Amino acid sequence: MMRFCVLGVFLFFLVPSLVSAGFYPNSSAVPPDLRRSATGNVWNSFLNFTGCHAGMKVDGLYKLKKYFQHFGYIPETLSGNFTDDFDDILKTAVEMYQRNFQLNVTGELDELTLNHVVIPRCGVADVVNGTSTMHSGRRAYEVSFTGRGSRFNAVKLYSFFPGEPRWPERRRDLTYAFEPRNALTEEVKSVFSRAFVRWAEVIPLTFTRSETFSTSDISIGFYSGEHGDGEPFDGEMGTLAHAFSPPNGHFHLDQNENWIVSGDGGDGRFLSETWAIDLESVAVHEIGHVLGLGHSSVQDSIMYPTITTGRRKVDLTSDDVEGVQYLYGANPNFNGSTSSPPSTQQRDTGDSGAAFRIDGSRSVLTKLLMSTVGLFFLYSL
């Protein structure tokens, strides 16, 4: 009996929780010790390359080449052993990156470029098969406005995945479910409900929560490192999440991040914690990918690839709305402006129709009990 107890306690502290992500209702709920021990961005070492240009050789430069290849700026066909040389391959990648993010195109690793490279971002590539999905040179939607005044053009920079995939017309009521092993609280789940509402408001699609993860149209889960889709997460403040084009429906988030889930404040509001990420902001962006939207070079748009820490960005811009309506048409009830969904203090309803109360607390005790039960099963095997 004593041997069992000792082994159980030992395993209890060694077996990681199903979800290691930190979910906090607001910045004041973050433990002081965690604030002090927060690590920096996994890409911050790239800042050491400031001033590098073609012809130079700098230790560790191959890591930056891998970064650019991950986001499509260097073709997979050149996936051999990268060197630390600032060669033409890297120069071309830097120029395309600068063009996509509307930076000064120099082909050099200047301070402004690298400061942008290290911003946390979506894991979906900006360049597919050598073609950028972002800058206006790929596909400019020019809309002419003629009135009593002067005539001008507005360029739309939204983009799509290759082939413009979308959910078929027979599937207009999409279901979504959460990875059951994550054991998410209703507070966290309600963040995604609000995010789906923002898109449903502008297109004729509905999103219904399901409890059946294996058969839902959209599957949402928090994972760490390599998790089976060939797109491993890289740790805190790097790649935040990624999602796949229709009709795949897979939507994955990095469980090593610290997430704010309150839903308080409007678009553009900066949270007091600069190392935490607003979960709803990321959720709205990734749902855009699930619907078929690619990245946009419009900095204020939801589909812009990066989001600075502490920022809340949840309101669809005209670029986002026009892009998704190109794929699905407009919601007949859409009046041209979006409204804010209910906050976490209001209730969220699942597909069963039952109301769930969101109390803003984190079910630590529940997770500990579940882990303990798991240990009993583990020992019995």
| Catalytic residue positions, numbered | 286
Was 254 annotated as part of a binding site?
A: yes
Site of tokens 């998704």:
324
Q: Is the dihedral of CA 105, 162, 281, 179 positive or negative?
A: negative
Q: How far apart are CA 75 and CA 231, in angstroms?
A: 16
Report cis status (omega within 30 of 0) of the bond before 168: no
Was 295 annotated as part of a binding site?
A: yes
Q: How far is CA 150 from CA 146, 318, 319, 341, in A?
A: 7, 22, 23, 38
How many residues appear in the chain? 381
Was 289 annotated as part of a binding site?
A: yes
Was 70 annotated as part of a binding site?
A: no
Was 52 annotated as part of a binding site?
A: no
Was 257 annotated as part of a binding site?
A: yes
Was 242 annotated as part of a binding site?
A: yes
CB neighbours of residue 137 within 10 Å: 10
> No. of H helices and E strands in the chain?
9, 15
Q: How far is CA 137 from CA 102, 134, 141, 271, 320, in A?
A: 12, 8, 10, 35, 18
Was 111 annotated as part of a binding site?
A: no
Was 250 annotated as part of a binding site?
A: no
Which amino acid type is present at position 22?
G
Was 370 annotated as part of a binding site?
A: no
Exposed e or buried b per residue across 234-249, where buried means at least 16 C-beta atoms within 10 angstroms of its C-beta? bbbbbbbbbbbbbeeb
Was 84 annotated as part of a binding site?
A: no
Q: How far apart are CA 243 and CA 265, in angstroms?
A: 26
**Can you say whether residue 199 is alpha, beta or left, with left for phi > 0 and alpha for psi between -120 and 50 degrees?**
alpha
Token pair for 281: 């902001």
Was 116 annotated as part of a binding site?
A: no
Q: Which residues does the annotation place in the binding site for Zn(2+)?
A: 122, 227, 229, 242, 252, 285, 289, 295, 303
Q: Which residues does the annotation place in the binding site?
A: 122, 217, 227, 229, 234-235, 242, 252, 254, 257, 285, 289, 295, 303
Q: Which residues does the annotation place in the binding site for Ca(2+)?
A: 217, 234-235, 254, 257
